[in-house]
Amino acid sequence: MIANPNPVKKDISRKISRIKTLFLRKKIAQGIEVVEQLCRDYFEVHVGVAQAFRSAFQAHRYEHTLGRINDYELEKGSYEIAWKVLDFVEKLSQYHHTSPYLTPIPPLDIDQAVLRKRDLLHVKALQKKGVPIIFLQGNSGMGKTTLCKLYVYTYIAEYAYVAWISSGAGLVDALVAGFFDEDNQQQYTKEYKSVKFERIVKFLEQLDGKKLLIVDGLDAYDSVDLAMFKTLYETANFDILVSTTKAYTGEYFQTIDVAYFDEEQSSELFFKEHLSAKEDQFLPKLLGLVGNQPLMSRLVARILHQHNQWNVKDLYKFMRHSPLANTNWQIADHLLEDRPQDDKALFTHVLTLLNIGDLSENEKWVLEQFVLLPPFEIEWIDLKKALKLPAGLGKMLIGNRGFLEALESLTKKGWLTRDKTTYKFHGVLQEATHYFFRFKIEQRWDVLAQVAVNLQKIYLEQKRFSEAHQIDRYLKIVMIRYE
């Protein structure tokens, strides 16, 4: 078990004794003020384990109780409530952080993953050469996030502590959101985040042993972010893996290009998703048509599994030679004129598969909704809360049950990915789906956007500012994408 250094434990007993003395002397207001300050100080010192506190000792009770004290002030009952708060603080003083997880780590369905041993060995070889910070770069849908998960679960025994952050809103936001529980959004300024980063580093320096940080989806970064990586490595003994679509061109860090699967890997993934499939001479052609890209290999496998009327040969010929496929290519070539040919090809294939997808009205509505949400993992319980609020939603769906059934069916068909209770609509699929449903999305914009705003409010209430900021930014992108 790994004990967390506790810088305040030496004088916590003295402070608690002082507060009890104030209460015994009936100096309730002064005692309450000291309790509040003590709690703030304690949480500030234990930066990375605030979430563990909340889980282990139900810290929300502390917040609620302090609120009641402020309401009662010196009225009857505040004395007893203050003692309860003090008992809670005393429990905190006995707490030791024993988990290696500094942040929640996303789950991995190993049965559905292709192991990518070559890439894992490449990472380890670079680390043994003294390269602690590695950028895993490649196009969307290449399996960079899965590779990060594979690394964590393969080598976790080598690390004393592990942290995972999703950084669509930027590195500073993600670090602060991952390690801190902020009081309110107004304090979440650029200057304040800089101070918080210094405190994060100070905390991490106290933790003994080798540490691992996964930064997933850092598609926009600058020199300040890169300097932060160096600081975390040099002062806190971190190995760092960064997944990104933005090519790193500097000299200080090492890069690994996460390439398309080879034919063998792509076939392995296909048969994991379509267990009843048989060897077919057209399968290499079909998987080659979608570039042996992991995301698309999984999608065509699930579509074939769900639609018995299609076989590998028919689907290959339709996606390769049909008039619809040719039309979709012309659309992709026009819309993505400045993008690589691979991007245009994937856009074309997604449009074609949407045309033959045989989606229900509920499934269409769910995809339209996900078009307005950033391509990150979203908890079903949060979606459920967001869906309860907007007026007019019931006319389109059969309540939350209908929405959940649509989520499940879209997952089986390959359009959504799911890890336990979280769902994600990948950006590669999202862009083409937006074009496919663009007129309906425009007509239903107010209702769809309201769900996104509701989800943003939920994240703000949960103090998950990184995700909340991403929703706001992404809504603006979607609004003008196909004007």
Confidence of residue 56 (pLDDT cuts 50, 70, 90): very low
Residue 393 lies in a domain: yes
Per-residue pLDDT reduced to its tens digit, 89-101: 555 455 444 557 7
**Cβ atoms within 10 Å, residue 276:** 7
Bridge partner residues of 214 (DSSP): 164, 241
**155 and 237 co-located in one domain:** yes
**46 and 169 co-located in one domain:** no
Question: Quick one: which of 164, 161, 235 has its CA closest to 197?
Answer: 235
Residues in Cβ contact with 396 at an 8 Å cutoff, skipping those fewer than 6 apart: 361, 365, 444, 447
**387 and 452 co-located in one domain:** yes
Angle at 263 between CA 117 and CA 141, to 5 degrees: 70
Residue 241 lies in a domain: yes
Q: Given 47, 62, 93, which residue is the final one in a domain?
A: 93
Q: Given 93, 127, 152, which residue is the final one in a domain?
A: 93
Confidence of residue 35 (pLDDT cuts 50, 70, 90): low
Q: Given 321, 355, 389, which residue is the final one in a domain?
A: 355
Average pLDDT, the chain: 77
Angle at 122 between CA 120 and CA 123, to 5 degrees: 65
- Report which residue type is found at 332: A
CA distances from residue 357 to 42, 315, 352, 425, 448 in whole angstroms, order as listed = 54, 12, 9, 16, 22
Per-residue pLDDT reduced to its tens digit, 417-442: 887 678 889 888 999 999 999 999 99
Q: Return the CA Rg of the chain.
A: 26
CB of 273 closer than 8 Å to CB of 280: no
**350 and 389 co-located in one domain:** no
**219 and 300 co-located in one domain:** no
- Worst-scoring range by mean pLDDT, 67-81, 159-173, 281-295? 67-81
**371 and 428 co-located in one domain:** yes
Residue 415 lies in a domain: yes
**285 and 214 co-located in one domain:** no
- Report which residue type is found at 281: Q
Residue 378 lies in a domain: yes
**164 and 247 co-located in one domain:** yes
**398 and 469 co-located in one domain:** yes
CA distances from residue 64 to 43, 82, 463 in whole angstroms, order as listed = 16, 12, 16
Residue 284 lies in a domain: yes
CB of 165 closer than 8 Å to CB of 212: no
Residue 4 lies in a domain: no
Residue 102 lies in a domain: no
CA dist 447 and 441 (Å) reads: 9
Domain range for 285: 263-355
Residue 78 has pLDDT above 60, yes or no: no
- Worst-scoring range by mean pLDDT, 342-346, 365-369, 379-383, 395-399? 395-399
CATH number, domain with residue 180: 3.40.50.300
Tokens for 258, please give them. Answer: 């996460």
**294 and 187 co-located in one domain:** no
**219 and 275 co-located in one domain:** no
CATH number, domain with residue 420: 1.10.10
Domain count across the chain: 4
Angle at 128 between CA 123 and CA 133, to 5 degrees: 55
CA dist 352 and 300 (Å) reads: 11
Residue 449 lies in a domain: yes
**218 and 291 co-located in one domain:** no
Return the top range by mean pLDDT from 74-88, 214-228, 286-300. 286-300
Confidence of residue 9 (pLDDT cuts 50, 70, 90): very low
